[in-house]
Amino acid sequence: MLKVLHHHVREGLFEGIKRANADEQVRAIVIIGEGKTFPCGADIREFHTHASVKEPVLTAVGHTIENSGKPVISAIHGTALGGGLEIALCCHYRIASENARIGFPEVLIGLLPGAEGTVRLPRLSGLAFAMDMIAFGKQVNAKDAFRHGILDKLCNGNILEEAKQFATKVIGQPLDSRRLSRLDVKDAANVDLLFEVALAQVKRKSRGQIAPIYCLKSVRNSVRMSFDKAVEEEQRLIMELMTGYQSTALQYSFFADRSAPKWRLPCGASVHNTKPSRIETAGVIGAGTMGSGIAVCLIRAGVPVILVEKNKKMLEKAMKTISGILDGSVKLNRMTSEQKEQCLAILKGTSTLDKLSNVDMVIEAVYENLELKREIFAQLDKVCKPSTLLCSNTSTLDIDKIASATNRPDKVAGTHFFAPAFIMKLMENVYGTKTSPATVATVMEFGRRLGKELEATKEEIKNIRLHLTVTFCTIDL
């Protein structure tokens, strides 16, 4: 059984393969993940620590698997990502559940697959597919993986039982033709043309990033060099990336993105013990740039919105602007014309706050004026039902001072979107001294539902920012 490929798992897998080969009663070996998934890659927390280079390293484990005298079958369910997929590529056979997914996401943290993934995958899938998959960190469903020769069988039943049955059919079969290090790369004759096509795509979609180009170079090396030499170059390239500033910044971002939603309040309430309410309808006050952008975020997530703007001409202009933004999404193939119409169907405009009497949440997005916001919140407190959350898009004003204008300070919070709201993923949720845990849970869950990367901060520290800069450069090919 396998989990994340930290040192102890690598060690157990390494020793397990050796013991299985020494046991005369064992005729075939199946590697399967424990729980819901095949290994989801290396333990990123081990990067830059002694554990990452402690023997056996992942390549040594892979060589032990590939050199096994008995057939080794990887049984993939859930996801096989990064180092997990590299382990599978070292096996003689790969089978997977029909709903499984595989991929090399290393490029997303500024790296490349560093345990021979860039050299092995092209020998199964061909260069074009490998370049596209590795350079953009794409996850591929099992059916596509099977179609491109990465998998030997798709399973729709119990993956372990099907793996055992598969193993009985391959016992005694020659293994040399199943060892990828001894195979040639598919479509090798077109390597230069395929590289140039992929490079043009990378320059367009991943402008200024080093890792995608290194990924392409390493895949190209799988043709231009012997297997061993290409692996040596892969190691050199990943070491350059690991010690570079882009990878350091992207790894910081990776951990920050995952830690931010795991909020905890001083009272002990947290994401783990507080249930959010479901927001079915929302109101947005202010039809300027921010209000219109926030409305787009909500309707794209399927949340019906009432947009309030007392200036009717400005309201009409905002409705046209929102329609234009959605038209842009259609042109970029990010939504269909039907989806655009569905979004517009759940957007209503009004010039009075009275229309917000039954919404579950209101997001105020007028300009930064404390007295104006307090006036609006006092009116909302009277108009809205008692359970409605009252939120402000303020970036600088005191949430407690805004909340004090209401009789429900426990249901007041800051929901600070970043402009343009329908593009920028960061969302800062700010809680005041009287904001309830349930309100915090609800606004955090709501932000997640909108696809935002969240940050929960206490009122007095909300204006402290950690600025992270990733600098891009050009490199030689």
Query: Per-residue DSSP letters for 273-287?
Result: T-PPPP---EEEE--
Average pLDDT, the chain: 90
Candidates 368, 380, 390, 393; CA nearest to 436 is 390
pLDDT digits (tens, 9 = 90+) for 357-376: 999 999 999 999 999 999 99
Mean pLDDT over 326-336 rounds to: 93
Q: Answer whether residue 216 is part of any domain.
A: yes
The SS3 of residue 225 is coil
Do 244 and 287 sit in the same domain of this protein?
no
Mean pLDDT over 335-363 rounds to: 96
Candidates 352, 362, 354; CA nearest to 298 is 362
Q: Which residue has the higher pLDDT, 317 or 270?
A: 317
Q: Is the pLDDT score of 463 beyond 50? A: no
CATH of residue 399: 3.40.50.720
Name the least confident of 15-29, 174-188, 264-278. 264-278
What phi and psi values does residue 275 have, to the nearest 5 degrees?
A: -90, 130
Do 84 and 162 sit in the same domain of this protein?
yes
Do 232 and 290 sit in the same domain of this protein?
no
Do 221 and 299 sit in the same domain of this protein?
no
Do 291 and 232 sit in the same domain of this protein?
no
Do 242 and 186 sit in the same domain of this protein?
yes
Confidence of residue 55 (pLDDT cuts 50, 70, 90): confident
Name the least confident of 25-29, 50-54, 308-312. 50-54
Strand order in the sheet with 412-417: 347-350, 305-308, 282-285, 361-364, 389-392, 412-417, 426-431, 453-458
Do 234 and 187 sit in the same domain of this protein?
yes
Q: Answer whether residue 130 is part of any domain.
A: yes
Mean pLDDT over 8-25 rounds to: 93
Q: Answer whether residue 258 is part of any domain.
A: no
50 touches 17 (CB < 8 A): no
Active site residue 316: no
Q: Is the pLDDT score of 389 beyond 60? A: yes
What is the predicted pLDDT for the residue at 91? Answer: 98
Active site residue 453: no
Catalytic residue among 15, 34, 106, 445: 106
- CA of residue 331 relative to chain centroid, distance: 24
What is the predicted pLDDT for the residue at 125? Answer: 96
Catalytic residue among 86, 162, 233, 309: 86
Q: Is the pLDDT score of 471 beyond 80? A: no
Q: Is the pLDDT score of 470 beyond 60? A: no
Confidence of residue 261 (pLDDT cuts 50, 70, 90): confident
Candidates 100, 41, 90; CA nearest to 62 is 90
Buried b / exposed e over 373-396, threshold 16 CB at 10 Å, is bbebbebbbebbeeebbbbbbbbe
What is the predicted pLDDT for the residue at 458? Answer: 58
Do 117 and 216 sit in the same domain of this protein?
yes
Q: Answer whether residue 263 is part of any domain.
A: no
What is the predicted pLDDT for the residue at 1? Answer: 43
178 touches 28 (CB < 8 A): no
Do 189 and 317 sit in the same domain of this protein?
no
The SS3 of residue 94 is strand
Do 45 and 154 sit in the same domain of this protein?
yes
The DSSP output letter for 388 is: -
Name the least confident of 51-55, 208-212, 386-390. 51-55
Mean pLDDT over 392-400 rounds to: 94
Q: Is the pLDDT score of 49 beyond 80? A: no
Do 109 and 225 sit in the same domain of this protein?
yes
52 touches 11 (CB < 8 A): no
What is the predicted pLDDT for the residue at 265? Answer: 87
What is the predicted pLDDT for the residue at 460? Answer: 42
Q: Which residue has the higher pLDDT, 202 or 426?
A: 202
Do 231 and 297 sit in the same domain of this protein?
no
* Rounded (10°) CA dihedral 178, 184, 190, 193: 80
What is the predicted pLDDT for the residue at 464? Answer: 31
Q: Is the pLDDT score of 473 beyond 60? A: no
Task: Tell me the residue range of the domain where 352 lies.
Answer: 282-461
CATH of residue 62: 3.90.226.10
What is the number of domains present in the chain? Answer: 2
Q: Is the pLDDT score of 81 beyond 80? A: yes
Mean pLDDT over 330-339 rounds to: 92
Which residue type sits at 416? H
Q: Answer whether residue 267 is part of any domain.
A: no
What is the predicted pLDDT for the residue at 472? Answer: 36
pLDDT digits (tens, 9 = 90+) for 84-116: 999 999 999 999 999 999 999 999 999 999 999
What is the predicted pLDDT for the residue at 352? Answer: 94
Q: Answer whether residue 387 is part of any domain.
A: yes
Structure tokens at 163: 């793996």
Q: Answer whether residue 85 is part of any domain.
A: yes
What is the predicted pLDDT for the residue at 53? Answer: 60
Q: Answer whether residue 38 is part of any domain.
A: yes
pLDDT digits (tens, 9 = 90+) for 401-425: 999 999 999 999 999 999 899 988 8
Quick one: CA dihedral 85, 87, 92, 98, positive or negative?
negative
pLDDT digits (tens, 9 = 90+) for 113-146: 999 999 999 999 999 999 999 999 999 999 999 9
Q: How far lies 233's CA from each of 39, 44, 173, in Å?
A: 25, 22, 33
Candidates 179, 166, 164; CA nearest to 227 is 179
Q: How far lies 383's CA from each of 252, 285, 354, 411, in Å?
A: 44, 13, 6, 14
- Residue owning tokens 């229309």: 355
The CB density around residue 420, as the number of other CB atoms within 10 Å, is: 14
What is the predicted pLDDT for the residue at 338? Answer: 94
80 touches 74 (CB < 8 A): yes
Name the least confident of 407-416, 445-454, 466-475. 466-475
Q: Is 323 exposed, middle or buried (0-12, 13-18, 19+ CB in 10 A)?
A: middle
Confidence of residue 270 (pLDDT cuts 50, 70, 90): confident
54 touches 95 (CB < 8 A): no
